[in-house]
């Protein structure tokens, strides 16, 4: 691992391997390994994708989307990207992830500004996010192992899909699609939105729902901030529905991670995490029903 980081960084930045210092690993992510490296006094982040990450992320699309959003000034500067390995080197943002601040609610206005810059940019992502097709693809990754989903999963999936006509009526804009607060970093008076692996055109309410990835209560508080007013019934319904979808999606991802051995490798019980996502999906679908 150390040899890879040093050799790739040296070649990318045109320095000697001896000039590359691996400072520390950034903790918190469950998909990728992130390291801070120092070269001639400058700090960079080096990403190494996690095991089988390529089944979830198209690196050609990711690179194209990074170039598309560059002009918005809300991402950190990328200096190297290898679409085959997924290795990425970017300038380090010496700030604090919102997931680590004592009171993330105090930063909701900043989060709103960043998402509005993205959603109202008029830019188009390389492709649509295609949530329904994505869910089927993630599901197939699991069933290809011979895994049989619980009946409850298919019941909840069917309930979610019964709302498809309602969800599909809203315009798509460029979205981050993983805008949880761990991907937002505050540095001085600038808020950055990082990690553009899942970027695609989508309902902007999907990004609002992502803000509540850890605590849905935060998304409920964020919704009127993002709208600049109290939400209408249909907006609350979209919020709950997309959060339910995200839980169904990450249920399959967690199952897949368990099946490829990551529960043992990372010391995390992905089976238990998958079960928790299914429970949450049921709760959010129930919450959406109150706004029909």
Determine the Cα–Cα distance for residues 213 and 191; give it in Å rounded to an integer.
Answer: 18
162-176 burial, b for 16+ CB within 10 Å, e for fewer?
ebeeebeeeebbbbb
Do residues 186 and 107 make contact, with C-beta atoms less than 8 angstroms apart?
yes
Task: Return the pLDDT at 189.
Answer: 85
Q: Which of 211, 206, 26 is nearest to 109 (CA)?
A: 211
On average, the pLDDT of the chain sits at: 95
The CA-based angle 208-233-105, given to 5 degrees, is: 35
**Beta carbons within 10 angstroms of residue 145's beta carbon:** 11
Place of tokens 């949880």: 180
**Beta carbons within 10 angstroms of residue 68's beta carbon:** 17
State phi, psi for 151 to the nearest 5 degrees.
-55, -35
pLDDT in tens, 129-185: 999 999 999 999 999 999 999 999 999 999 999 999 999 999 999 999 999 999 999
Determine the Cα–Cα distance for residues 240 and 134; give it in Å rounded to an integer.
Answer: 19
- In angstroms, the first-to-last Cα distance of the chain is 52
Do residues 125 and 174 make contact, with C-beta atoms less than 8 angstroms apart?
yes
Place of tokens 């970017």: 90
Task: Return the pLDDT at 26.
Answer: 86
pLDDT in tens, 246-269: 999 999 999 999 999 999 988 899
Determine the Cα–Cα distance for residues 188 and 191; give it in Å rounded to an integer.
Answer: 8
Element spanning 186, H or E: strand 184-187
Determine the Cα–Cα distance for residues 200 and 125; give it in Å rounded to an integer.
Answer: 5
Give CA torsion, residues 272, 278, 284, 287, to 10 deg.
Answer: -110
Task: Return the pLDDT at 31.
Answer: 73
Task: Return the pLDDT at 27.
Answer: 75
Question: Which residues have CB under 8 Å from 279's CB, separation 6+?
Answer: none
pLDDT in tens, 190-221: 999 999 999 999 999 999 999 999 999 999 99
pLDDT band at 28; cut points 50, 70, 90:
low
Determine the Cα–Cα distance for residues 91 and 211; give it in Å rounded to an integer.
Answer: 24
Provide mean pLDDT across the span 3-24. Answer: 95
Tokens encoding 107: 């930063």
pLDDT in tens, 127-139: 999 999 999 999 9
Given a cut of 80, is residue 29 above it in pLDDT? Answer: no
Given a cut of 80, is residue 30 above it in pLDDT? Answer: no
Given a cut of 80, is residue 226 above it in pLDDT? Answer: yes
Task: Return the pLDDT at 266.
Answer: 86
Kindly report the pTM of this predicted structure. Answer: 0.95
């Amino acid at each position: 691992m150390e040899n890879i980081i040093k050799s790739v960084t040296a070649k990318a930045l045109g320095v000697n391997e001896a000039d590359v210092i691996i400072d520390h690993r950034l903790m918190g992510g469950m998909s990728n390994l992130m390291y801070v490296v120092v070269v001639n006094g400058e700090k960079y982040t080096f990403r190494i994708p996690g095991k089988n990450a390529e089944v979830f992320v198209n690196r050609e699309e990711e690179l194209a989307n990074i170039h598309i959003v560059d002009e918005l000034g809300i991402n950190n500067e990328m200096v190297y990207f290898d679409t085959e390995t997924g290795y990425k080197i970017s300038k380090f943002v010496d700030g604090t992830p919102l997931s680590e601040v004592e009171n993330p609610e105090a930063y909701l206005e900043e989060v709103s500004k960043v998402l509005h810059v993205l959603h109202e940019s008029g830019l188009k992502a390389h492709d649509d996010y295609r949530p329904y097709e994505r869910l089927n693809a993630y599901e197939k990754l699991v069933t290809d192992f011979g895994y049989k989903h619980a009946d409850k999963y298919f019941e909840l999936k069917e309930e979610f899909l019964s709302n498809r006509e309602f969800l599909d009526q809203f315009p798509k804009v460029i979205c981050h699609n993983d805008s949880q607060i761990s991907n937002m970093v505050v540095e001085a008076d600038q808020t950055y939105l990082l990690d553009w692996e899942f970027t695609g055109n989508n309902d902007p309410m999907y990004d609002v729902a992502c803000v509540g990835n850890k605590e849905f209560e935060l998304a409920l508080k964020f919704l009127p901030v993002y709208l600049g007013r109290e939400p209408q019934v249909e907006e609350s319904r979209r919020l709950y529905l997309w959060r339910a979808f995200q839980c169904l999606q990450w249920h399959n991802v967690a199952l897949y991670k368990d099946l490829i051995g990551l529960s043992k490798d990372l010391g995390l019980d992905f089976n238990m995490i998958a079960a928790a996502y299914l429970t949450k999906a049921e709760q959010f679908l129930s919450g959406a029903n109150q706004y029909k």
